[in-house]
Amino acid sequence: MESFSNFNYDDVMKSATVSVIGRPSAGKSTMVNTICEMKVSITSPIPQTTRNKIRGIYTDQRGQLVFIDTPGYHLSEKTINRKMQEVTVSALSESDIILYIIDGKREPKKEEETLSSLIKEAEVPLVCAINKKDIITKEEEENVRFFLKNRFPSAPVLLTSSKDDDGIDELLIELFRLAPEGELMYDESSYTDQNLEFRISEIIREKTINMLSDELPHTIFVEVSDLEYDEEEKKVWVRAFINTERDGQKGIIVGKGGENIKKIRQESFKDIRKIFPGSKLELDLRVKAVAKWRNNQAVLDRIFREINK
Protein backbone atom coordinates (compact mmCIF):
# COMPACT_ATOMS: atom_id res chain seq x y z
CA MET A 1 0.00 0.00 0.00
CA GLU A 2 1.28 3.49 -0.80
CA SER A 3 2.07 5.82 2.07
CA PHE A 4 -0.48 8.56 2.75
CA SER A 5 1.87 11.41 1.86
CA ASN A 6 -0.74 14.11 1.41
CA PHE A 7 -2.27 13.64 4.83
CA ASN A 8 -2.15 16.55 7.24
CA TYR A 9 -0.97 15.23 10.57
CA ASP A 10 -2.30 16.70 13.73
CA ASP A 11 -2.23 15.57 17.35
CA VAL A 12 -5.69 14.11 17.41
CA MET A 13 -5.84 10.33 17.63
CA LYS A 14 -8.80 8.78 15.80
CA SER A 15 -10.44 5.49 16.59
CA ALA A 16 -13.47 3.86 14.98
CA THR A 17 -15.23 0.59 14.28
CA VAL A 18 -16.13 0.21 10.61
CA SER A 19 -18.75 -2.32 9.51
CA VAL A 20 -18.02 -3.65 6.03
CA ILE A 21 -21.35 -4.33 4.38
CA GLY A 22 -22.37 -5.53 0.93
CA ARG A 23 -23.85 -8.31 -1.13
CA PRO A 24 -22.15 -11.70 -1.41
CA SER A 25 -18.90 -11.67 -3.39
CA ALA A 26 -18.65 -7.85 -3.52
CA GLY A 27 -15.08 -8.16 -2.23
CA LYS A 28 -15.58 -7.27 1.45
CA SER A 29 -13.20 -9.83 2.90
CA THR A 30 -10.58 -9.14 0.23
CA MET A 31 -10.87 -5.45 1.17
CA VAL A 32 -10.35 -6.12 4.88
CA ASN A 33 -7.33 -8.33 4.11
CA THR A 34 -5.81 -5.74 1.78
CA ILE A 35 -6.22 -2.95 4.31
CA CYS A 36 -4.87 -5.02 7.20
CA GLU A 37 -2.09 -6.40 4.99
CA MET A 38 -2.85 -9.79 6.46
CA LYS A 39 -5.20 -12.67 5.75
CA VAL A 40 -7.78 -11.91 8.41
CA SER A 41 -10.87 -13.19 6.65
CA ILE A 42 -11.14 -16.04 4.18
CA THR A 43 -12.15 -15.33 0.57
CA SER A 44 -13.37 -17.36 -2.40
CA PRO A 45 -15.11 -16.87 -5.76
CA ILE A 46 -18.18 -18.55 -4.27
CA PRO A 47 -20.79 -16.18 -2.81
CA GLN A 48 -21.55 -16.39 0.92
CA THR A 49 -18.11 -17.33 2.06
CA THR A 50 -18.04 -15.23 5.22
CA ARG A 51 -20.42 -16.42 7.94
CA ASN A 52 -19.41 -14.43 11.02
CA LYS A 53 -18.47 -10.94 12.05
CA ILE A 54 -14.73 -10.93 11.62
CA ARG A 55 -12.58 -8.16 12.99
CA GLY A 56 -9.55 -6.88 11.12
CA ILE A 57 -7.53 -4.12 12.77
CA TYR A 58 -5.66 -1.34 10.97
CA THR A 59 -3.42 1.08 12.86
CA ASP A 60 -1.23 3.95 11.69
CA GLN A 61 -0.20 7.42 12.86
CA ARG A 62 -3.74 8.66 12.39
CA GLY A 63 -5.19 6.14 14.83
CA GLN A 64 -7.00 2.83 14.57
CA LEU A 65 -9.82 1.45 12.44
CA VAL A 66 -11.39 -1.81 13.55
CA PHE A 67 -13.08 -3.33 10.50
CA ILE A 68 -15.95 -5.74 11.02
CA ASP A 69 -16.23 -7.98 7.98
CA THR A 70 -19.75 -9.39 7.62
CA PRO A 71 -21.59 -12.11 5.67
CA GLY A 72 -22.78 -10.96 2.25
CA TYR A 73 -26.40 -9.85 2.46
CA HIS A 74 -28.47 -12.38 0.54
CA LEU A 75 -32.27 -12.42 0.37
CA SER A 76 -33.28 -15.98 1.23
CA GLU A 77 -35.58 -17.62 3.74
CA LYS A 78 -33.32 -20.59 4.47
CA THR A 79 -32.42 -20.86 8.15
CA ILE A 80 -28.69 -20.41 7.63
CA ASN A 81 -29.19 -17.42 5.32
CA ARG A 82 -31.48 -15.76 7.81
CA LYS A 83 -28.89 -16.31 10.50
CA MET A 84 -26.29 -14.67 8.26
CA GLN A 85 -28.64 -11.76 7.55
CA GLU A 86 -29.01 -11.29 11.30
CA VAL A 87 -25.23 -11.18 11.72
CA THR A 88 -24.97 -8.48 9.06
CA VAL A 89 -27.85 -6.40 10.37
CA SER A 90 -26.46 -6.50 13.91
CA ALA A 91 -23.17 -5.05 12.61
CA LEU A 92 -24.96 -2.08 11.01
CA SER A 93 -25.90 -0.35 14.20
CA GLU A 94 -22.93 -1.26 16.35
CA SER A 95 -20.26 0.55 14.35
CA ASP A 96 -19.11 4.18 14.13
CA ILE A 97 -18.95 4.06 10.32
CA ILE A 98 -20.46 1.85 7.63
CA LEU A 99 -18.32 0.96 4.63
CA TYR A 100 -20.75 -0.11 1.93
CA ILE A 101 -19.07 -2.13 -0.80
CA ILE A 102 -20.79 -2.56 -4.13
CA ASP A 103 -19.54 -4.86 -6.83
CA GLY A 104 -19.26 -2.50 -9.82
CA LYS A 105 -19.71 -5.42 -12.16
CA ARG A 106 -23.26 -6.18 -11.03
CA GLU A 107 -26.17 -3.89 -11.73
CA PRO A 108 -27.90 -2.92 -8.45
CA LYS A 109 -31.20 -4.77 -8.16
CA LYS A 110 -33.67 -5.78 -5.44
CA GLU A 111 -31.11 -7.18 -3.02
CA GLU A 112 -29.04 -4.00 -3.26
CA GLU A 113 -32.17 -1.92 -2.71
CA THR A 114 -33.10 -3.85 0.43
CA LEU A 115 -29.58 -3.61 1.74
CA SER A 116 -29.27 0.11 1.01
CA SER A 117 -32.56 0.70 2.86
CA LEU A 118 -31.18 -1.11 5.91
CA ILE A 119 -28.02 1.00 5.71
CA LYS A 120 -30.09 4.17 5.52
CA GLU A 121 -32.16 3.16 8.55
CA ALA A 122 -29.01 2.60 10.61
CA GLU A 123 -28.21 6.35 10.44
CA VAL A 124 -24.49 5.77 10.83
CA PRO A 125 -21.89 7.82 8.88
CA LEU A 126 -21.36 6.13 5.54
CA VAL A 127 -18.58 5.66 2.99
CA CYS A 128 -19.32 3.81 -0.27
CA ALA A 129 -16.83 1.91 -2.39
CA ILE A 130 -17.53 0.82 -5.94
CA ASN A 131 -15.27 -2.21 -6.03
CA LYS A 132 -13.59 -4.26 -8.78
CA LYS A 133 -12.34 -1.12 -10.51
CA ASP A 134 -9.87 -3.34 -12.38
CA ILE A 135 -12.64 -5.03 -14.39
CA ILE A 136 -15.53 -2.55 -14.65
CA THR A 137 -16.47 -0.33 -17.58
CA LYS A 138 -17.19 3.39 -17.34
CA GLU A 139 -20.86 2.65 -17.99
CA GLU A 140 -21.03 0.10 -15.17
CA GLU A 141 -19.38 2.59 -12.85
CA GLU A 142 -21.86 5.32 -13.82
CA ASN A 143 -24.80 2.97 -13.19
CA VAL A 144 -23.67 2.30 -9.66
CA ARG A 145 -22.86 5.97 -9.06
CA PHE A 146 -26.40 6.87 -10.14
CA PHE A 147 -27.84 4.27 -7.75
CA LEU A 148 -25.75 5.57 -4.84
CA LYS A 149 -26.39 9.27 -5.59
CA ASN A 150 -30.11 8.58 -5.43
CA ARG A 151 -30.00 6.83 -2.08
CA PHE A 152 -27.10 8.51 -0.32
CA PRO A 153 -26.67 11.96 -1.91
CA SER A 154 -24.07 13.16 0.57
CA ALA A 155 -21.99 10.02 1.14
CA PRO A 156 -18.46 9.92 -0.27
CA VAL A 157 -18.09 7.38 -3.09
CA LEU A 158 -14.69 5.84 -3.84
CA LEU A 159 -13.64 3.66 -6.73
CA THR A 160 -11.54 0.73 -5.53
CA SER A 161 -9.97 -2.55 -6.41
CA SER A 162 -9.52 -4.51 -3.23
CA LYS A 163 -7.78 -7.20 -5.22
CA ASP A 164 -5.15 -4.86 -6.69
CA ASP A 165 -4.88 -2.52 -3.68
CA ASP A 166 -6.06 0.43 -5.76
CA GLY A 167 -7.98 3.36 -4.29
CA ILE A 168 -7.48 2.00 -0.77
CA ASP A 169 -5.39 4.92 0.51
CA GLU A 170 -8.09 7.36 -0.57
CA LEU A 171 -10.66 5.17 1.17
CA LEU A 172 -8.66 5.22 4.39
CA ILE A 173 -8.46 9.02 4.23
CA GLU A 174 -12.28 9.22 4.09
CA LEU A 175 -12.68 6.72 6.92
CA PHE A 176 -10.24 8.55 9.19
CA ARG A 177 -11.96 11.84 8.34
CA LEU A 178 -15.24 10.45 9.69
CA ALA A 179 -13.69 8.60 12.64
CA PRO A 180 -14.25 10.11 16.08
CA GLU A 181 -11.38 11.04 18.34
CA GLY A 182 -10.36 8.20 20.61
CA GLU A 183 -7.66 5.96 22.00
CA LEU A 184 -6.50 2.71 20.39
CA MET A 185 -8.88 -0.16 21.14
CA TYR A 186 -6.24 -2.82 20.44
CA ASP A 187 -2.48 -3.02 20.66
CA GLU A 188 -0.94 -1.40 17.57
CA SER A 189 0.56 -4.71 16.37
CA SER A 190 -2.79 -6.57 16.47
CA TYR A 191 -4.54 -7.38 13.23
CA THR A 192 -7.37 -9.58 14.47
CA ASP A 193 -8.92 -10.86 17.66
CA GLN A 194 -10.40 -14.16 16.50
CA ASN A 195 -9.68 -17.13 18.68
CA LEU A 196 -7.21 -19.73 17.43
CA GLU A 197 -9.73 -22.52 16.86
CA PHE A 198 -11.82 -20.24 14.68
CA ARG A 199 -8.88 -19.05 12.60
CA ILE A 200 -7.72 -22.59 11.98
CA SER A 201 -11.20 -23.83 11.07
CA GLU A 202 -11.64 -20.92 8.65
CA ILE A 203 -8.34 -21.64 6.92
CA ILE A 204 -9.41 -25.26 6.40
CA ARG A 205 -12.85 -24.14 5.20
CA GLU A 206 -11.26 -21.79 2.67
CA LYS A 207 -9.03 -24.50 1.25
CA THR A 208 -11.98 -26.89 1.06
CA ILE A 209 -14.31 -24.34 -0.58
CA ASN A 210 -11.70 -23.49 -3.16
CA MET A 211 -11.46 -27.16 -4.07
CA LEU A 212 -15.22 -27.58 -4.55
CA SER A 213 -17.79 -26.15 -6.92
CA ASP A 214 -21.50 -25.37 -7.25
CA GLU A 215 -23.55 -25.85 -4.11
CA LEU A 216 -21.03 -28.00 -2.24
CA PRO A 217 -19.17 -25.15 -0.50
CA HIS A 218 -22.37 -24.23 1.29
CA THR A 219 -22.78 -27.74 2.65
CA ILE A 220 -19.61 -27.70 4.72
CA PHE A 221 -18.58 -26.42 8.09
CA VAL A 222 -15.29 -27.05 9.84
CA GLU A 223 -14.69 -27.62 13.50
CA VAL A 224 -11.45 -27.91 15.42
CA SER A 225 -12.06 -30.65 17.97
CA ASP A 226 -8.61 -30.59 19.60
CA LEU A 227 -5.90 -27.98 19.80
CA GLU A 228 -2.78 -28.44 21.88
CA TYR A 229 -0.20 -25.69 21.77
CA ASP A 230 2.98 -26.14 23.77
CA GLU A 231 4.68 -22.76 23.51
CA GLU A 232 7.83 -23.91 25.33
CA GLU A 233 8.35 -27.05 23.27
CA LYS A 234 7.18 -25.18 20.17
CA LYS A 235 4.70 -27.87 19.19
CA VAL A 236 1.13 -27.57 17.92
CA TRP A 237 -1.28 -30.44 17.48
CA VAL A 238 -4.60 -29.89 15.74
CA ARG A 239 -7.44 -32.25 14.97
CA ALA A 240 -10.20 -30.85 12.80
CA PHE A 241 -13.30 -32.16 11.07
CA ILE A 242 -14.60 -31.06 7.71
CA ASN A 243 -18.32 -31.69 8.06
CA THR A 244 -20.64 -32.07 5.14
CA GLU A 245 -24.27 -33.10 4.84
CA ARG A 246 -24.18 -36.49 3.15
CA ASP A 247 -21.88 -39.48 2.79
CA GLY A 248 -21.73 -38.94 -0.98
CA GLN A 249 -20.32 -35.45 -0.43
CA LYS A 250 -17.70 -36.89 1.88
CA GLY A 251 -16.34 -38.86 -1.06
CA ILE A 252 -16.00 -35.72 -3.17
CA ILE A 253 -14.05 -33.94 -0.46
CA VAL A 254 -11.76 -36.92 0.06
CA GLY A 255 -11.30 -37.35 -3.70
CA LYS A 256 -9.93 -40.24 -5.73
CA GLY A 257 -7.34 -42.06 -3.67
CA GLY A 258 -7.57 -39.24 -1.11
CA GLU A 259 -6.05 -36.68 -3.48
CA ASN A 260 -8.40 -33.82 -2.59
CA ILE A 261 -8.11 -34.13 1.16
CA LYS A 262 -4.34 -34.40 0.79
CA LYS A 263 -4.29 -31.11 -1.09
CA ILE A 264 -6.64 -29.44 1.41
CA ARG A 265 -4.36 -30.62 4.20
CA GLN A 266 -1.19 -29.36 2.48
CA GLU A 267 -2.66 -25.93 1.72
CA SER A 268 -4.14 -25.60 5.20
CA PHE A 269 -0.86 -26.67 6.77
CA LYS A 270 1.00 -23.81 5.07
CA ASP A 271 -1.40 -21.16 6.36
CA ILE A 272 -1.88 -22.59 9.85
CA ARG A 273 1.90 -22.67 10.34
CA LYS A 274 1.97 -18.90 9.82
CA ILE A 275 -0.12 -18.53 12.98
CA PHE A 276 2.53 -20.42 14.97
CA PRO A 277 5.87 -19.32 13.50
CA GLY A 278 8.77 -21.59 14.43
CA SER A 279 6.57 -24.34 15.85
CA LYS A 280 6.24 -27.92 14.68
CA LEU A 281 2.70 -28.53 13.47
CA GLU A 282 0.76 -31.76 13.34
CA LEU A 283 -2.57 -31.58 11.55
CA ASP A 284 -5.04 -34.41 11.72
CA LEU A 285 -7.84 -33.70 9.25
CA ARG A 286 -11.00 -35.81 9.02
CA VAL A 287 -14.20 -35.71 7.01
CA LYS A 288 -17.61 -36.44 8.50
CA ALA A 289 -21.26 -36.25 7.46
CA VAL A 290 -23.70 -34.39 9.71
CA ALA A 291 -27.16 -34.79 8.21
CA LYS A 292 -29.13 -31.59 7.60
CA TRP A 293 -26.84 -29.51 9.79
CA ARG A 294 -28.01 -26.29 8.14
CA ASN A 295 -31.32 -26.75 9.93
CA ASN A 296 -29.81 -28.04 13.15
CA GLN A 297 -30.06 -25.34 15.80
CA ALA A 298 -27.25 -26.75 17.98
CA VAL A 299 -24.81 -26.77 15.05
CA LEU A 300 -25.87 -23.30 13.93
CA ASP A 301 -25.40 -22.01 17.47
CA ARG A 302 -21.84 -23.32 17.42
CA ILE A 303 -21.08 -21.84 14.00
CA PHE A 304 -22.49 -18.43 14.87
CA ARG A 305 -21.08 -18.25 18.39
CA GLU A 306 -18.70 -15.56 19.54
CA ILE A 307 -15.42 -15.99 17.68
CA ASN A 308 -13.38 -13.36 19.40
CA LYS A 309 -10.90 -14.06 22.18
Provide the minimum distance between the beta carbon of 165 and Mg ion in the complex, in angstroms, as a whole number: 17
Choose the one of Mg ion, ligand GTP, none that binds residue 135, judging by a C-beta under 5 to 8 angstroms depending on kind: ligand GTP
Choose the one of Mg ion, ligand GTP, none that binds residue 64, judging by a C-beta under 5 to 8 angstroms depending on kind: none
Choose the one of Mg ion, ligand GTP, none that binds residue 125, judging by a C-beta under 5 to 8 angstroms depending on kind: none
Q: Does 108 bind ligand GTP (CB under 6 A)?
A: no
Gap between the Cα atoms of 20 and 261, Å rounded: 32
Gap between the Cα atoms of 27 and 132, Å rounded: 8
Q: For residues 28 and 151, which CB has a smaller minimum distance to ligand GTP in the complex?
A: 28
Q: For residues 175 and 238, which CB has a smaller minimum distance to ligand GTP in the complex?
A: 175
| Identified binder of ligand GTP from the candidate list 14, 16, 19, 28, rule CB under 6 A | 28
Gap between the Cα atoms of 82 and 256, Å rounded: 35
Q: Does 70 bind Mg ion (CB under 5 A)?
A: no
Q: Does 134 bind ligand GTP (CB under 6 A)?
A: yes
**Within positions 29 to 58, which residues make up the interface with ligand GTP, using CB under 6 A?**
29-30, 43-45, 47-50
Stretch near ligand GTP under the rule CB under 6 A, chosen from 23-31, 114-122, 150-158, 246-254 = 23-31
Stretch near ligand GTP under the rule CB under 6 A, chosen from 160-168, 187-195, 197-205, 281-289 = 160-168
Choose the one of ligand GTP, Mg ion, none that binds residue 163, judging by a C-beta under 5 to 8 angstroms depending on kind: ligand GTP
Provide the minimum distance between the beta carbon of 296 and ligand GTP in the complex, in angstroms, as a whole number: 22
Q: Please spell the DSSP secondary structure of the chain, one letter per residue.
A: ----TT----S--EEEEEEEEESTTSSHHHHHHHHHTS--S---SSS----S-EEEEEEETTEEEEEEE--------SHHHHHHHHHHHHHHHTSSEEEEEEETTS---HHHHHHHHHHHHHT--EEEEEE-GGG--HHHHHHHHHHHHHH-TTS-EEE-BTTTTBSHHHHHHHHHHHSPB---SS-TT----B-HHHHHHHHHHHHHHTT--TTGGGG-EEEEEEEEEETTTTEEEEEEEEEESSHHHHHHHH-GGGHHHHHHHHHHHHHHHHHSTT-EEEEEEEEEE-TTGGG-HHHHHHHTS--B-
Q: For residues 134 and 188, which CB has a smaller minimum distance to ligand GTP in the complex?
A: 134
Choose the one of Mg ion, ligand GTP, none that binds residue 47, judging by a C-beta under 5 to 8 angstroms depending on kind: ligand GTP
277-295 core/surface letters (b: 16 or more CB in 10 A; e: else): eeeebebebebeebeebbe
Q: Does 219 bind ligand GTP (CB under 6 A)?
A: no
**Within positions 26 to 65, which residues make up the interface with Mg ion, using CB under 5 A?**
28-29, 49-50
Residue nearest to ligand GTP (CB): 72
Q: For residues 27 and 63, which CB has a smaller minimum distance to ligand GTP in the complex?
A: 27
Interface residues with Mg ion (CB under 5 A) are: 28-29, 49-50
- The binding site for ligand GTP (CB under 6 A) comprises 22, 24-30, 43-45, 47-50, 71-72, 131-132, 134-135, 161-163
